[in-house]
Amino acid sequence: MSDDTEPGREPARSRHGGPVRKPPASVAERREVACALRDGTRLRTVLLVPHGTGPWPALLTRHPYDVTGDEHDGMLDVGRLAAAGYLVALQDVRGRFGSEGVFDPCAQEVADGADAVAWLAALPECTGAVGMWGASYASETQFSAFLGGAPALRAIAPALTPAMSALDGFRFRGGVPEIGSTLAWSHYAIAPDLITRIDSAREREAEQRRWEATERAITTREAFRAGTLRARPDADRDAESIVVWGLDRLREPLGSARHRAGKIVDRIDEIDIPVLLTGGWFDVFLGSTLEIYRRLLRRAKDTGGPVPHLLVGPWTHDNLSGRTAGVDFGPGASADDLGGSGDLTAQHVRWFDAVLRAGAADTPPVRVFLMGSNRWIGLEEFPPRDTRTLELYLSAGESLTAEPAGSGERRLTSDPASPVPTCGGAVLLVAPFEAGPADQTAIESRQDVVSWRTVPLAEELTVLGAVRAVVHLATTGTDADVVVRLCDEHPDGSSLVIADGVQRGSARSVDPVTGRGDRRPVEPHQVQEFTVDLWSTAHTFLPGHRVRVDIAPSSSPRWDVGCNAFDPAGAVTEPAVAECTIRHGAAHPSRLVLQMVGTAPR
């Protein structure tokens, strides 16, 4: 969940390919101060006070990744925020880096965030109006502060945010634990600082040894093998404490109250201030970002409240350059350019000026990057109202057709001992598993991956909105995972992943956002319908290209490798090989469902 990592290793805060920034001393006075919370805990806060006569509205970011890094390499250029006339505050959250206290991820930020906003608003240099910005964990702290009761908080700008729910891309997706990103975040982004804070040298050394044991397990992939998350006595005795914390959360039932801590799933209707959301088509939290947007837009229509703004680029969680997984979407795709309309900092300054200073709102509510066409488009809402549904059916001859064409079946073997490797997509993983539109050719050659594709397109096909797959499947096991990828097959034979998703059979009746509903086993040998949410995209398939869909039983280390057996709470289930049969035709209409537009907006 971090946005601060070394390339290809730890999740990164926002290294988006721009030039290294100079310290903001020339435009602001830097002060390092302490923010006292209601219980007396003191949080390190870096203030950048503009030169000149105040007071000024304030902009605050709070996260656990060492805020001093934001002074030269954050998502926004904080020197320019100060130059634009904002009192800028960068704050380490409780228990991290320069701040006192014990770190309790997510849960602590409601009260702490409200206190921080109140403290900042009361400073003599502040007008009393506060806005917040930041990506990933720093997006969650914004919602938390508002829900904690912070009347001075007038606007927020969450980016790449998991704040909606723990169940749709944060800890789980389609009922499958997101073990890869959980380990990447807890082990690389959080554990090192926690270890340095241990007072006892003996315990600190012991925790460092446990960190090294986790590192070996990740490197050898032992950490990701099937059955890792099943209940086993002393399963995590060799892991450091924050990793144990993360794995314990993955073992919690989907409806657990622990998954709601720090999330807005139950309280999003309370968000009545302006919100600017930034997302990435290949971000692990794209689903959460778009779900927040959809619900805030619906609330705005119902109540007449502020319409949310949305910006989505061809970005991953830690790369906003527009160049990833071997694909370059062009210089305009970068957060440093945004199609010549000013970089991400300029976009934020214009937006904060409009909502905090009653300035002019000169941009459309929605701006998304249309991949394939490789250009930005402005919209009144996403998806646009003129989209229509296109269904492409899995048909005989491995073809995707507008109508079911010939009944049949395709078989694959799901072997937990040999899972399908993750290759691109909306991931946040350790090296060498890079996010983005990676070529799937090598993956598609495996016997446990089956594919269907259209004929070469005669004209452009623009997908602009939700993508899902409906798969009719029978398995010899009592559970099954279905991984689906939407790919753009180029005339040269390369096959680039555009969107992907997963669904665990036993969780088909569980709401993917709220966690409500019961898990139940899959009936062996019975054809059952799996609906797989691939979230959304904005992509033009060019003439001569093919729309392709791949189906697989796993994607590791991204998702927990299933055992092909239903595992009720507390049960220990041994992994087993299962045979899966995908049925298609009029009686079993397996299909890809896309939202498309007839003509792509200009």
pLDDT value at residue 86: 98
pLDDT in tens, 566-588: 987 767 778 999 999 999 999 99
What are the structural domains, with CATH classification, of the chain? 22-157 (3.40.50.1820), 180-253 (no CATH), 388-597 (2.60.120.260)
Task: Specify the pTM.
Answer: 0.95
564 and 475 in contact (C-beta within 8 Å)? yes
pLDDT in tens, 344-377: 999 999 999 999 998 766 779 999 999 999 999 9
13 and 135 in contact (C-beta within 8 Å)? yes
**Residues 290-306: b if buried by 16+ CB within 10 A, e if exposed:** bbbbbbbbebbeeeeeb
Neighbouring CB atoms inside 10 A of 51's CB total: 11
Q: What is the mean pLDDT of residues 222-234?
A: 78
Report the alpha-carbon distance of residue 246 to residue 267 in Å, rounded: 24
pLDDT value at residue 236: 66
Element of type H or E holding 399: strand 399-401
Q: Which residues contact 231 (CB under 8 A, 6 or more apart)?
A: 251, 570, 571, 572
266 and 149 in contact (C-beta within 8 Å)? no
pLDDT value at residue 5: 35
Mean pLDDT across the chain, nearest whole number?
A: 93
Q: For residue 14, is pLDDT > 50? A: no
Q: What angle do CA 215, 219, 224 make, to 5 degrees?
A: 95
Amino acid identity, position 601: P
pLDDT in tens, 327-343: 999 999 999 999 998 99
As a whole number of Å, the end-to-end CA separation of the chain is: 34
Distance of CA 292 to the CA centre of its chain: 12
pLDDT in tens, 139-183: 999 999 999 999 999 999 999 999 999 999 999 999 999 999 999
Q: For residue 12, is pLDDT > 60? A: no
pLDDT in tens, 70-92: 999 999 999 999 999 999 999 99
pLDDT in tens, 101-110: 999 998 899 9
pLDDT value at residue 9: 38
Q: What angle do CA 521, 527, 529 make, to 5 degrees?
A: 75
Share of the chain above pLDDT 90, in %: 88
Number of H helices and E strands in the chain, helices first, is: 11, 25
577 and 490 in contact (C-beta within 8 Å)? no
Q: For residue 1, is pLDDT > 70? A: no
pLDDT value at residue 21: 65
pLDDT value at residue 570: 62
Rounded alpha-carbon distances, angstroms, from residue 339 to 40, 374, 601: 47, 10, 15
Q: Give the DSSP letter of residue 413.
A: E
Q: What is the mean pLDDT of residues 520-527?
A: 97
Residue of higher predicted confidence among 17 and 210: 210
Weakest mean pLDDT among 15-29, 97-111, 437-451: 15-29
Closest CA to 166 of 514, 426, 569: 514
Share of the chain above pLDDT 70, in %: 94
pLDDT value at residue 562: 96
pLDDT in tens, 255-276: 999 999 889 999 999 999 999 9
Q: Are strands 176-177 and 28-36 parallel, antiparallel or unpaired?
A: unpaired
The confidence band for 237, taking pLDDT boundaries of 50, 70 and 90, is: confident
The confidence band for 228, taking pLDDT boundaries of 50, 70 and 90, is: confident
546 and 489 in contact (C-beta within 8 Å)? yes
Q: Are strands 450-453 and 546-552 parallel, antiparallel or unpaired?
A: antiparallel
pLDDT value at residue 567: 86
Q: For residue 191, is pLDDT > 50? A: yes
Q: Give the DSSP letter of residue 333.
A: G
Residues in a beta bridge with 468: 533, 593
The confidence band for 232, taking pLDDT boundaries of 50, 70 and 90, is: low
Distance of CA 106 to the CA centre of its chain: 16
Report the alpha-carbon distance of residue 274 to residue 352 in Å, rounded: 9
Give burial (CB, 10 Å; 0-12/13-18/19+) of 417. exposed
pLDDT value at residue 19: 55
Report the alpha-carbon distance of residue 270 to residue 35 in Å, rounded: 27
Closest CA to 176 of 568, 480, 475: 480
pLDDT value at residue 230: 75
Q: For residue 16, is pLDDT > 60? A: no
pLDDT in tens, 467-507: 999 999 999 999 999 999 999 999 999 999 999 999 999 99
The confidence band for 406, taking pLDDT boundaries of 50, 70 and 90, is: confident
Does residue 516 sit in helix, strand or coil? coil
